[in-house]
Structure 1
């Protein structure tokens, strides 16, 4: 399973809370945690300050409460908690699967499960609302999808197309046909 993990497990950037203007970067790799900082100040005592870097192994990071406090202040408690989990070896392998494979897995779920999964993380929200997934759901639930229906779904989005009732769809398809006929007459 470790082969599924990229070298960089997590990376984020941020600015220290006001009034501080310092910039920070946090990188969690497979073996270590790196915190980099750049002092940004107009005060004379910090003008010559060089960027800094602190690297710790996962084991050392788990025991470093001072660094925990600093990361909690700069990046927030959720980020600190996520980094702690990564350092303890608690990875979310499902989220690291390739998107086509996740889409394939999602096609076996009920709509209620897709709705719940979309609330798990930003990654799953993006995938659960993707046109690719909803195109498959529409194709699975309809007897046949005509080229005209496909064109309308591409325009309004497959999820919107799925949740639009049949009467509204028929009306939209009729309007679309009429516009197309008008354009054809205009072009002739």
Structure 2
């Protein structure tokens, strides 16, 4: 599995804590650790100072307490612990997986587990709240996703579609159709208002409320979400 990893395993850079203005760069590769620094100072003696570099093996880094203290001082203890874990062979394979593959894996989890996973890191929080994740969640739990639902998702988002009941989804799609019909009616000045109402009524009777199989909707209760959201009341 380690052969699947690519360098660098860890790459971080930043300025030192005040009053230190030097710039530091830490890289952990599969075979070594690189520590680089650039002196930033207004003093004339430091004007022509060259960048420094220290290159050590994983074991040398684990034995070098001075370098570890420097890394902890500049980047914090969590970065130091992560760098030491990499040098000890404790690789984070999930961190190297592409987002597309992680999204497929996350979709096999229960919603409560997804909510817990989103709290573990910024990356998982972004993935678990992305439109790609909620679109895949809808498509996995539905027999089919009609065009009307896809169009509504572009306006309100796939997460809103996922947590909307069948009845509320029918109402939203029906109102969206009526709104589009009104817009078309205003554009076509040659048609009378009575003709527009008749045409709209006939189309609604022909297609039904939403125009797709009742079994195609997810029908997920919003209360099952780890962060429940009440469905908006659109009956009025």
TM over 0.5: yes
Distance 2:171 2:13 in 1: 49
- Following TM superposition, by how much is the alpha carbon of 1:70 offset from its aligned partner in structure 2, in angstroms? 0.6
RMSD: 2.0
Structure-2 separation of matches of 1:79 and 1:97: 20
Write the deviation string for residues 68-124 of structure 1: whole angstroms up to 9, x where unpaired.
111111101111111111111101113322333322222221111111122222222
Could you say what secondary structure the match of 1:34 adopts?
strand
My pick for the range that moved more, 97-106 or 23-32, is 97-106
Residue aligned with 1:8, SS: coil
Q: Larger Cα Rg: Structure 1 or Structure 2?
A: 2
**Aligned residue number for residue 71 of structure 1:** 71
Structure 1 stretches lacking a partner, 5+ long: none
Query: Could you list the per-position Cα deviations for residues 117-167 of structure 1 after superposition, in whole angstroms to 9, with x for gaps in the alignment?
Result: 222222222222222221121123345422121122133321233234556
With 148-157 and 1-10 compared, the bigger mean Cα shift is at 148-157
Higher strand share: 1
Give me the TM-score of the superposition, normalised by structure 2. Answer: 0.72
Aligned residue number for residue 59 of structure 1: 59
Contact 2:39 2:46 survives alignment (8 Å) = yes
Q: Distance in 2 between matches of 1:37 and 1:170?
A: 61
2:148 corresponds to 1:148? yes
Q: How many aligned residue pairs are there? A: 188
> Normalized against structure 1, the TM-score is what?
0.88
